Chain A
Amino acid sequence: MSRPHWDNAIAHFDDQVGTFVAEYFGQDDRKCLLIAAAGFNPRSRRVASLLADVLGQRLNAIFIREERGKPDAVLVEAADMNEVALRKLVQCEILKIDVFGDDDAPVAGSRIVRALGTYEIPSDVTDVVLDMTALSIGIGFPAARLLLEQCEDRANCAFHLMIASSPEIEDKILSEPDSRPMAIRGFAGEDISSSNLKAAKVWVPQLAKGKSTALSEIGKTSGEWYKICPIVPFPAGEPRRADALIDEYQSHLVNSWEVDPRDIIYASERNPLDCYWTLSTFAKQYRQAVTDIFAPTIVVTPIGSKVVAAGALMAALEHNLTVQYIETVRYDFDPTETANDNDPEYLVHLLLSGPAYGDYGDDLKPG
C-alpha cells in the first residue's frame, strides 16, 4: 500500500511532544488505546504517564510482558514494579507473550499477531498509540503493521508511534542473542523465486554497540550479499558515536563484509524520518538501477536504537523490505542505572495514519 503522506509525515520531537499531547489529546472527543511494553526498561513508563496525565479516563492500554525463559530475577523484579506502576496509571490489561517456544525457537512474532489479531479495537477509540520504547522489534514490528492496517481500515482512527530513547541507557542494556536469525513475522519481503533474474541482495544492518555477534550471524544467513550498507547514527548526541561503531566493527566491515566506505548509510539518531527517507530513496533508486538485470532484494536489520528502527519500519512497510533479526534470549542490565543529566534523551512522536492526512497524496496517485 502506498502512503505518500509519509514523505511529509507529522512528527514531533522532545518538548514538542509534550505540547502536541496536551493540545491534541486534550480534546475531549479523543479516546486513546495505548499498546506498550511493561518491561524492566527504566523508560517503560515515560510515554504512558505522559498520555495518562492528559487523557485520564479516556486512555486504555494493553501492556505487553515479553516472557523470555529464565530471565534475571533482578530484571523480573524491575518489570513487576513497572507493571504495578502502570496499572495505577492507566486502566489496562496485561498481555503475556512467550518470546520462545517449548523448543526454544523464537516465536514472538506469531504469538503477538495471534494475540492482537483477535483483539477488536473498540469502535469509540479515535487514536491508537504504539509505544515502541521497550518493545523488542520481534514484537513491535508485527504489532505496528497489524495496528496500522487496522487503523487504516477505519475512517476515523489515527495511528501513532511514540518512542522515548536514551542511546546511553540502550548501550548499557546488554542482550544475549539467540543463534537463529529470522525474518520478522509479516516482514519476509518479496518472493523473488519466480524471477528469471539472478538475485542481488543488499543487506542494511544497523550497527549498534555490543551487537556484532548477532549481526555476524544474521549476515551469514544469505550467503551472497551483492552489497552490505551499514547504518551508523549521524547526526548523534555524541558526535563520535558513528566513529566508535566503525572502530568496534572494523574487522567485520573490512574482512567479512568487505564494505565499500561509500556504502555506509548515515541516519539521524533523533529523527526516524531521516532513516525512513534515506532507506526509501535507496530502495527506489536501487530497484530502478537493477531493473531487468537483477532481482533486487533489500534486507534491513534494525537492532540498535528504536528511533532509527522506527524509520526502518516505515521503509520496510512502504517498500515491502525483508526485516531480518535475531531474538534476544536474555538481557543483562542494572535497572538502577539512570541516564546522566548530560546524556541526551529523545522523545519522538510520529503520526502514521489518520484523518489528519485527509486526502493527502491522492492527486499523486495514477488515474
Chain B
Amino acid sequence: MANPFLRRATEYIRDDAAFLAVVSPQPLTTFLTRHPRREDIFNLPVRILGAPGSGKTMLATLAEFRLVETILRDQTNQTNRELAGALADAGFLVDGKPRIAAVRLPMESEYRDFWELPYDDTIKTKLALWLVQARTMLALLRSLTAAGTRALEDIRFIPREASEAQLQQIGGLTARGIRDRALEVQKAIYSIGASLLPPKLEDLPPAATDPYQPFESIREIEISWMGERITVSPLVMLDDVHALHPDQFKPMFAALARREIKFGRWMMMRLDALSPGAVFRSPQSLETHNLKADRDFIDILMQGQGERAAERKQFRSIATDMANRYLPLVQTLRNHSHLPFARLAPNEPPRLPEGKLRDLAVAVDRTQRRLEITKSRRETIDGLVAEYFAGTMSGDKEPEVGLAMSRILMHRYRNRISGMSASLFEEFDPEPRTKLKADASVAEGARLHLHEEFGRPLHYGIENLCDASNENAEVFLQLAGALVTRMESRAIRNKSPVLPATTQQAALTEKANEIMNGWAFPFARRVRRLVDSIASDCRKASLLDNARLGPGANAIGVPDEEIEALINSDDELALVLKYAIAHKAIEIQRGYGQGSKYWCLIELSGIVCLAHGLTLKRGGFLECNLYYVRGKTAR
C-alpha cells in the first residue's frame, strides 16, 4: 500500500481531488497574505525564490484557476472552506468569487534550448517569449473551461487601454480567436525548437516571427460564474525560470517588467541554480538587470527572509499542518486518523531502565570521587539541577538527565577552580570565580552524553522532526514517512501506532542514513566526506566531559574573508560547497560575529545531524579555516 508521505513530490499526485486533500494553505498565508506588498503582487512582476522542495510548485498549483474553481464549487467540504479562506486572504478571491485567473507554466529546458539556435539574440529571445505567451493563453483557456461549466463563448478578453492596435496580432478578443492564434504561434515555434536541424533564418515560418504580445494587450477577462458575469485578472506563474540562460533571462525579465503590462506575472526560481557567489550571498544580492526590487518588481523569499528562529517556528506550523492532512490518507491508520500526527509521534521523553539508571548513578559518584568534589559541593550542584528542573517548561526531566547534568557541572567546577591553590588545613571547596549554572544548554548536553553512553533517544517528537527538515517540506515528508511506515507496522500487528521515542530515533536515523547513502549529485562523494568529517569532529567536541559547547556543535566556522576570497576565485571547492548547499547537506550562515571575528558558519543539515547523533540546536560551532575544509573534501 502506498505511503503518501513518501511520494516525494506533489508533482506525482494524479488528480485534483487528491491534491486538495493534502495541500496545506499555510504557504499561501505565510508568503503571500503576510507579505508587506500583498496589494501589488498581481500588478508588478514578482520573483518567488526558494530552495528545491520549499513548496513553490505546491503554492502555484493551489493558486491555479482550475483548482480555485474546484474549491469554490464545493463549499460543503471543510478542507475546501479552509482553502477558500486562505485564497481569499491572499487576494485570489473577493466576495467568495475568483478575482484572479492564474495558470502555472513550467519553464522546461525547452525554452533554454532556444538560446542554442543559430540566430541573433533578439530573435531567440522573441521566439522563447512568444512561446511563453502562446502557451500561457492556451493554458488559461484550458483552465477556464476545465470544469465544464463554461464554453469558449462564455469567455471574453478585455483589452488594456491604448492596445487596440495590437489586438489583431493576438487573434482579437474572443476566446476562440485568441486560442486559434495562440495555437498557430505555439505550433510554429515548437517546430523550430523540436527540429533536429534548425531551419535557416529566412525559412522561419511567419507565424513564429510576426508580432505577438498578448501580455501587453490584455487587462482582464470576463467570464460567466454561477449565472452571472464577473471579471478576473490574468496571472501567469512561470515555474523554474532559472533554467533560462542568464543572457536570455535578462531581456525576458526586462520585457515582462514593462509597466504597461497589466497581466500578472510571477517568476519562480531556485536559489541553488545560481552561481556559487549568489548561493553564498543573500538572495537580495541577485542581479536585477537595472531594475529595482520593490520599485520595479517584488521579491517573495520562501526561505532566508527573516530571523532564523522565527522561520523555524513558522515551518513547524506549516509542516504539522501538512502531516495532519496526509495522515488520513494512510489506509492502515484509518482507525487512528482522528489523532493528530504529533500524538502518534509524541514528545514523551524516554526513560532509562532501572538497572542502567543505577549504573549511571554509580558512574557519577565515581566521577565525583575522581574529581575530588566534596559532599557539600555535590549537594550544591544537585540543588542547582533540581532548581532548574523546577523552573523549566521542558518535558524531559527524567532522573538520568539530572544525574548527567550534575556530572557535567562537576567537571565544569573542577575546571574553574583548577588555577586555585589548595589549603593544607581546610577541605578544598572554593567558590569558582564564574558561578555554575544549570540551564537548558547543560540539560541538552546531558541528553547528548546519555545518547552516547546508553543510546538514549535524542531525536523524537514533531518539533525535532520539523527542525531536522531544515524548513524543507520535501525532507520533512520523507522523515515523517519513515515514522508513518513504523506506525503502519504496529497498526497491522494490532498494536497502538503511537511510536515510543526509541522507535522514532531508530526510524529517523535509518532514514537519514538512507537519504545520505542515496546522494547522487555532483561531487556527492566529496560532500559526504566533508560532512562526515565535520560531524565526527563536532561529536567529539560535543561529548567533552564538561560539555563546553552546551548542546554541542553541529557546524564549523571559517573566517568570512576566506569564504569571500573563495567565492571570487575559480576554485573547484566553491563548486563543491555550492552543490552541498543546493542538495541540503549543509547550510551557510554568513557574517556570524563572535570573538571579534566574522565567521561563515558551515552548518550540517538536519539529516546529517540525525545520522551522526548531533544536536539540532543551532549555534555551537568549531573554529576552523578553509584549509580544514579543503583537506576534508580532497579525494
Q: Is A180 a contact of B243 with CB atoms below 8 Å?
A: yes
Q: Is B12 a contact of A219 with CB atoms below 8 Å?
A: yes
Q: Contacts A145-B196, A193-B138 known; A176 to B523 CB distance under 8 Å?
A: yes
Residues 195-237 (chain A) with a chain B CB within 8 angstroms:
210-214, 216, 219-225
Q: B520 is contacted by which of A176, A181, A223, A251 (Cβ under 8 Å)?
A: A176
* Count of CB-CB pairs between chains A and B under 8 Å: 128
The answer to whether the Cβ of A256 comes within 8 Å of any Cβ in the partner chain is yes
Q: Is A221 a contact of B108 with CB atoms below 8 Å?
A: yes
Instruction: A252 to B138: give the CA distance in the assembly, Å.
Output: 32
The answer to whether the Cβ of A142 comes within 8 Å of any Cβ in the partner chain is yes
The answer to whether the Cβ of B194 comes within 8 Å of any Cβ in the partner chain is yes
The answer to whether the Cβ of A136 comes within 8 Å of any Cβ in the partner chain is no
The answer to whether the Cβ of A357 comes within 8 Å of any Cβ in the partner chain is no
Render B574-585 as a binary contact track against A, CB cut-off 8 A, 1 for contact: 010000001000
Q: Is B112 a contact of A255 with CB atoms below 8 Å?
A: no
Instruction: A338 to B319: give the CA distance in the assembly, Å.
Output: 48
Q: Is A216 a contact of B195 with CB atoms below 8 Å?
A: no
Interface-side segment among A41-49, A105-113, A305-313, A359-367: A105-113
The answer to whether the Cβ of A188 comes within 8 Å of any Cβ in the partner chain is yes
Q: Name the A residues within 8 Å of B195 (CB-CB).
A: 186
Q: Is B187 a contact of A216 with CB atoms below 8 Å?
A: no
Distance (whole angstroms) from the CB of A91 to the closest CB of chain B: 27
Q: Name the A residues within 8 Å of B521 (CB-CB).
A: 176-177, 179, 213, 329
Chain B interface, >50% SS class: helix
Q: A180 is contacted by which of B1, B14, B109, B572 (Cβ under 8 Å)?
A: B109
Instruction: A177 to B583: give the CA distance in the assembly, Å.
Output: 12
Render B1-12 as a binary contact track against A, CB cut-off 8 A, 1 for contact: 111111111011
Q: Is B8 a contact of A212 with CB atoms below 8 Å?
A: no
Number of interface residues of B (CB under 8 A): 52
- In the complex, the chain B residue whose C-beta lies closest to that of A225 is B14
Q: Name the B residues within 8 Å of A255 (CB-CB).
A: 2-8, 481
Q: Name the B residues within 8 Å of A194 (CB-CB).
A: 183, 187
The answer to whether the Cβ of B455 comes within 8 Å of any Cβ in the partner chain is no
The answer to whether the Cβ of A332 comes within 8 Å of any Cβ in the partner chain is yes
Residues 101-137 (chain B) with a chain A CB within 8 angstroms:
106, 108-110, 112-113, 115-118, 135
Q: Is A257 a contact of B12 with CB atoms below 8 Å?
A: yes
Q: Is B118 a contact of A114 with CB atoms below 8 Å?
A: yes
- In the complex, the chain A residue whose C-beta lies closest to that of B194 is A188
Q: Is B190 a contact of A176 with CB atoms below 8 Å?
A: no
Residues 92-129 (chain A) with a chain B CB within 8 angstroms:
101, 103, 105-107, 110-111, 113-114, 117
Q: Is B523 a contact of A330 with CB atoms below 8 Å?
A: yes
Q: Is B116 a contact of A103 with CB atoms below 8 Å?
A: no
- In the complex, the chain B residue whose C-beta lies closest to that of A191 is B190
Instruction: A183 to B109: give the CA distance in the assembly, Å.
Output: 8
The answer to whether the Cβ of B306 comes within 8 Å of any Cβ in the partner chain is no
Q: A176 is contacted by which of B1, B11, B117, B522 (Cβ under 8 Å)?
A: B522
7 contacts between A and B (CB under 8 A): A149-B196, A176-B520, A179-B52, A183-B194, A221-B106, A255-B6, A257-B12
Q: Which residues of A are interface residues toward B (Cβ below 8 A)?
A: 70, 72, 101, 103, 105-107, 110-111, 113-114, 117, 142, 145-146, 149, 174-183, 185-186, 188-189, 191, 193-194, 210-214, 216, 219-225, 251-252, 254-258, 329-330, 332
Q: Which 6 A-B pairs have the closest CB atoms?
A: A182-B109, A186-B196, A110-B116, A188-B194, A255-B6, A213-B520
